[in-house]
Amino acid sequence: MRTRTHEIKVRLNDKEFDHLNQMVAKTLYNRETFLRLLINGYTVQEVPRDYIMFRMDMVNVSAELRQTAKFNDSLSEAEKARLLDVADRVASVIAVMSSIYKPYFKERNQTK
């Protein structure tokens, strides 16, 4: 069962929506998580651009390995299994690195 039972609809104009998407793109969060962090008083910092590019490249490598294993009929079953194993290893590296950068926000703002 979901713990978040309240839904709020917010309307944004194009400029506001673009600005929100640009801010979210500089983090590893989705829009909902990003907004929840802000609501809870955190200041979200940008993740280094090099990391975002590296992460995108790694995700693409993992996806290409999986596609090759799935659609290349000239490979043996052992070769396909090896490609899927490597894709899983790449995915686990991505997960570990994301867990390092995921809490990339400053402590809660202290309001008195």
**The 3-state secondary structure of 64-77, one letter per residue:** HHHHHHHHCCCCCH
Q: What are phi and psi of 27, to 5 degrees?
A: -120, 180
pLDDT per position as a tens digit, 2-60: 788 999 999 999 999 999 999 998 888 899 999 999 998 888 888 888 888 898 999 99
pLDDT per position as a tens digit, 49-100: 888 889 899 999 999 999 999 999 999 999 999 999 999 999 999 988 888 8
